[in-house]
Each structure stands twice: as C-alpha cells, then as structure tokens.
Chain A
C-alpha cells in the first residue's frame, strides 16, 4: 500500500526562536521582561504581533519586545543597561537560527 498526500491544509502556530530549545516550552515563561506580555503577543503600543512587533535579543541572553526595550533605553534612567541584569545592553546578532540551518 502506498499513501500519497495530495494536499494538506495544516494549522500551525508560529513562535519566536528565543534560543530555548524546550519543545514543550512553558508558555507562561515566554513573556517580555518589561511589559509582561508574551513574546508572541505584542508590546503595549502595537496592535499586530509578529513582524510588526519584533523581538530584540541581547548579548546577555535576555529577550524583549524591541519596542519595549528601545523605549527603556531611550530613558535617561536606563543608563543603557539591560533591565534584567544591569549589564550594558548589547544587541546580539541572531546566530541561533543560523546555526540550526
């Protein structure tokens, strides 16, 4: 017997690649450290998630909504530090996904 797939209408969810490889990633944990909204949601100023409200990855391994972080960095009080660990914020190049491929 041979099964030939002619067409497949599948349903999938997209998910940001935050570097965690946990397959069953606990959704409760994947929230932006600034606005506490899930990464797959959008920051408070945005209305549409995904490419219009992307994430930003820091060298310190912390991930935020880009809009949230830029707003934070723009304030004087931030001293250009990561809000989670107070290290100097350095935006990381995305290497994780590239490594996968």
Chain B
C-alpha cells in the first residue's frame, strides 16, 4: 500500500493540476471550459485529408479557445498531440509520394516531380496551423512536416528534382517550348520549393544544375569557334538568361532589384568563374589547333588570356600544350619546316596570352631541345630568313623594323621600372624582353656562328645559280641579315657579293678586249664555302675558251691568275648534227663529253673518264644518259662489260632503236643523287675531322691510350681546331663503331 507521504504527494499534484486547468473558476466550470477549448483547438489543428471539405471555424471562438489553453499552459501539450496526429496521418502524404515516384520511375518525366511538389505544397497548406497561432507552433509544424517529408522521399527524387530544375532553367534560357513540362511553367513551383524546404536541402543540386547548363552551353556555342571573341557573348548570355533564373533560388524574398543584386553578388561571381573555367578548359584542350590556326584564332587567344586571369590554370595549359606538341609535332614524321612554323605561331600565341613569356618558356623548351637535334634546323631557319619576299611562305613576316638579334640581358637593378620575375617562372627562366621571332629562333643554338656558316653556304648556292647578273635581291637580303647578325660576322658574305660585282666588271673589260662566249664568276677562294673537289679537264675548244679568257684576265690584272672550277657553272650549246641541231643548257661535264664525241663517234665510258679526269662513274653515266635522253647519243652493249656510247649523226628512224629511258645503263635508280656544288656545313666539318683524325691516330700510336680530355687538349694545338669535347666524343664514338678505336675505362686506344 502507498504510504501516507506518497498519497499526500499525489493529492497535491492532482490539486495543482486541477487548479491549473480550472483556473480558479467556480466548481469545475473552468475544467469544462478547458475541455471545450481543447476540442476546438484539436479540431482546428487536425491534419485533414486533402479532399475533405474545410471546416468553418469561428475565428473568435478559436482564438479564445487558444487563449484558454495558453492560460492553462497546455500549448506544449497541444503541440505534442498535434505532432502525434500528424504522425498518424502521414501515411496520406506517403501514399501520394509513393504513387508519384512510381509514376516518375516509369516515365522519367520531370513533370511528375513538378506535380508532386505542387501537391505536397497543397498538403502543406492543408495541414498548416494558422499563422495567428504564434511562431512556436508554425515553426514546429514546418520542422515536423519537412522532417517527415524528407524521410519518405526516395533517392530517386533527387535525380528527378535535378531534371525538373534543369527544365526550369531551360524554360528561362530558351523560353517555353513543347518539351518543357507544364508544371515548370507554374509560377507556384518555386514558392513551393521554398515552402517545402527543398531549395535549402538541394542547394548543391541547384548549383550543379546551373554548372552543367553552363558547361553544355559553352561547349555547344564555343567549341572550335576561334575567329570571334566568345567570352563577352557568354557573359551577356549569363546576364540575360541565367541570372533571371538565379533570382529564384538565390535571391528569394528580395524586395527590390538592389537587394537582389547584393544577394546575387557572391553566387554570381561563382558562376562567372565557372564560365571562365569551362571556357578555359575547352581552349586548353583545343590549344594546339588554335596555334595552328593562328592568326585567325586571335580572338580565342584574347578570350583565353582573360579567362586565365580569372582562373589559375596556367600550369594545365602548359601541360596540355606540351603533351599535344610531343604527340603531334615532335615526331620523325613532321617536317622541320612545319615544326618551325608551328613554333613561330606558338611564340606569337603565347606572347599574346602571357607577355612576360613564362608560359612560352615552359612550352617551348622541349621544342627547342628537339629542334636542336634535327640536322636541318639551321638550314630551314636560314632559308626562311632569306626567302624571296614574293613567294610569301616566310616564317617571319616582318611587320616592324628589323631589329638586331637580342641576347639575354642581365637584370639591371638600377632600372626604376624593374620588375621581378613572374611567380611561376622556373629557376632557369630568362626574362628576356619581348623579342622578335628571329632572335628567339636563333637562340635555339648557343652561338650564331653556325647560322653564319649556313648562311654563307646558302648564299653561295644562290649566287652561283644567278646567271643574269641580278644580285639585287641577294644584296637586299644581306643588308637585312647584317642588321640582325651584325656587320662583322657577315663580312665574308659581303666579300662574296663583291666578287660577283667585280666579276661583272672584269668580264665587261675582258669582253671589250676580245669578246668571248664565256662569262665567268671569279671568286675569292677563302671567302666562299668549300666546293666539291672534283677536277675535270675540259677538252678541245672548251679548254681553248678557258685559256684565252684566262690570258685576257691576266693581261687585265697582271698579278693574278685564274684557276677554273671546271665542274661548276653551265654551258649553252648548239649541237649541229647532219640532219638536226640540238640546243641545250648543260653542266660542264656533259659539255665536256659531247665535245669529246666530236673527236670520235664511239667512246667507252672508261675512256671518257680517263680523258676528263677523276670523276665518279655514276656521275659520268648520268651525264651520258642526259645526252641519250636528248637523242644525241645511243648506248651500245656488245655483250662485254664495256659500256659504249655512239653519236647519232642522224636521228634514228628504225623502230628497233632503244626507246629513251629503256637502256640497260638507264637504271636511273642506281644513279646517285645530284650533289649540290657547295659543301654543306656538316660535310665541311666531316672534311676537317678527317684531318684531325690523322692527329688523333698519331697521338694514340705514340702515347698509347689517352682519355678524351687529353685528346681534346692536344688537339687544341692544331690550327683551327674548334670542336667541343662533346663533338670530339661523338666523333670518337663514330670511330669506335667503325672499329678504328676501342674505349675502356675512358681510355681510348687504337685497334690493332
């Protein structure tokens, strides 16, 4: 049994509760009033079925009922019972959600989601306690409603919601189209999101929808479009189309445009960043082709420049470009000229994007290293330096004045405009001033001497090919080059040009004394590149012409004599045969041969070579076959090894004549490629190295094994030796491959 104290306590509690509910009214009338008020309040708050007819409540009655409950401090109890009521009725909402979600999963139509959201909003309004009931109740209601709602929404809702959002965005950017779900166009949709707490809950989803839309739009409108600036248009598009949409989720409740603007500021710049980033990614991916298209792609470069200032993706750009270059440019299949062209475009493009040249430095490094290994790089650069301005395929179309080559400068710290190197510059970045393209190309190599040598060879080839005495173009080229390379290194070329003009003057004088068919170019030996050392003796009248000209020359210049380089130049001949005359411009060797045929009609190749001098058999055959092609000679094969050629005094009429090009010796494939008259730089170096090999052979014989640096030191005593240890090493390695020397522990020995 309960003790007395316990029953006292219960009695006190009871009395206390009673007093609270009865509010000091007489009898139990207070209690009665309370239960009436409770009933009314509970009825008002009762979660109803949607279709159910709304009950009519007397507002005053309801208010007084709530007043009563408040006085009894029973509002929390009421709330609790309301929440409990809601929980008991939530199956109604759950049913709807399940039904709609099933429909959505079957159809995938975001419209279903839209309708579901609107329906849920209806539920919300149906159950919501009136606003006059105080903040506590309504906020408790919102929390419980949303909690319940979120607990029943399945995972698929998120994806559907996203689709729905995307549809609303499309609705805003493109206007109403038949494909837009009807529910999207309902103006209540966004307030419903807000009401149901979906806007907050799915905020990241909303942002991602916007991001994706931006990405799709950028890709669609800007991919491959390099000939017009797109960034400005994209930003206009953002302002016109996307921002009105963004007002809905991000500027909820903004009363004025001012207010909306401040609310949008943060999120707006986030989306602007995304526009830049997407465009930047796109252009980075396309960069290699943009460079190819330069200068048509200039607007794209300006876009990229602006994007890069906003988005820090310079290193991505560098990496992408390096990768693309490696894959598409720096492989054996690419022509050196193409690589150079691309490199030049690259220089211009990256200078446009990044004037200090940090990007360029990073991207260009592999290209420069690759070009350095290509044997014909210098030749290509030089050729493009002196290219005919008319042909227009010059690498360097100079707009500005020609500038001297610039060499990297040491930082001048007293310069008040001095700026530190950009932050992302590598340790070996050289902050050279924006230099012209030619300087950059020439700086691929450490010294310009190589260029000057190559220039000399090129100039020699071009000058010797000139027959009409028009050197003006060459002179102009040389003047341009002088500005670039400086006067001194090109002194040699200057002498070459002077030789040309001198030759003309001398020739005019000689012709005035005794006219000759010969118009030689007289050159100063030490100022021209080395020539192929073939000596041929001109026979018959050709020799006579040389002799008489040389005599006239010596009369004119008593101290000088002429040495003929008989294998160079060209001769215009008329061959008068019995029934026809053949005219031809031929190289001297061919002229020599045909002259010999005027002595006798049949020659063997060997006899011809003997008469003319030390020439190679393939070269002789080639010359003879040239005459066979002209129908002047015919090859005769009498079964022996001797190849004989016969002069055709009268044109062959018999059908049995060997058709041109079908002769046995006419296996043209076997003929050597025509050698250019002037030795290339590599050939010259190889030629010199032959001399040094004698030295090396000597010292290895006398001193036994030697390390490479000893050999280098000793070779330095030799006149004119200017190889680096690396070059010597490469040379020794080549000798090793030929089996001449062997190396062990860095000591080189002769093979015996």
Contacts and interface: CB of A to CB of B under 8 A. Distances in A.
A49 B524 contact: yes
A15 B519 contact: no
A83 interface: no
Nearest to A52: B498
Given A1-B647, A6-B573, A50-B524, A11 B545 contact: no
A55 B574 CA distance: 42
A11 B521 contact: yes
A4 B588 CA distance: 14
Residue of B525, B542, B559, B588 ringed by the most chain A CB atoms within 10 A: B559
Interface string B546-578: 100111011101111111111011111111111
A8 B517 contact: yes
Interface string B175-188: 00000000000000
Interface string B659-682: 000000000000000000000000
A50 to B, nearest CB: 6
A8 B545 contact: yes
A15 B563 contact: yes
A10 B560 contact: no
A100 B647 CA distance: 39
Given A10-B564, A14-B561, A94-B559, A1 B520 contact: no
Contact of A11 (B540, B555, B568): B568
Residue of A3, A27, A48 ringed by the most chain B CB atoms within 10 A: A3
A12 B520 contact: yes
A16 B555 contact: no
A38 interface: yes
Contact of B576 (A1, A10, A40, A51): A1
A13 B565 contact: yes
B525 A4 contact: no
B646 to A, nearest CB: 12
A71 interface: no
B524 A9 contact: no
Contact of B575 (A3, A40, A49): A3
Given A16-B559, A38-B526, A41-B526, A8 B575 contact: no
A54 interface: yes
B523 A15 contact: no
A54 B559 contact: yes
B594 interface: yes
Contact of A49 (B495, B520, B577): B495
A97 interface: yes
A48 B549 CA distance: 24
Nearest to B568: A11
Contacts of B572: 5-8
A98 B557 CA distance: 11
B335 interface: no
B564 A12 contact: yes
B684 interface: no
B495 A13 contact: no
Contacts of A49: 495, 524, 526-527
A9 B573 contact: no
Given A40-B524, A48-B495, A16 B573 contact: no
Interface in B474-500: 491, 494-495, 498
A10 B525 contact: no
A97 B521 CA distance: 22
Interface in B505-528: 517-527
A59 interface: no
Contacts of B578: 1
B575 A1 contact: yes
Interface in A33-67: 38, 40-41, 47-51, 54-55
B464 interface: yes
B649 A55 contact: no
B687 interface: no
Interface in B606-620: none
Contacts of A97: 554, 558-559
Nearest to A47: B491
Contacts of B557: 14, 51
Residue of B467, B524, B542, B595 ringed by the most chain A CB atoms within 10 A: B524
Interface of A: 1-17, 27, 38, 40-41, 47-51, 54-55, 94, 97-98, 100-101
7 contacts: A2-B576, A3-B591, A7-B517, A10-B566, A11-B565, A14-B553, A14-B561
Interface of B: 464, 467, 491, 494-495, 498, 502, 517-527, 540-542, 545-546, 549-551, 553-555, 557-566, 568-578, 583, 588, 591, 594-595, 597-598, 647, 649
What 6 A-B pairs have minimum CB-CB distances, sorted nearest first? A11-B568, A10-B520, A6-B572, A8-B518, A4-B574, A97-B558
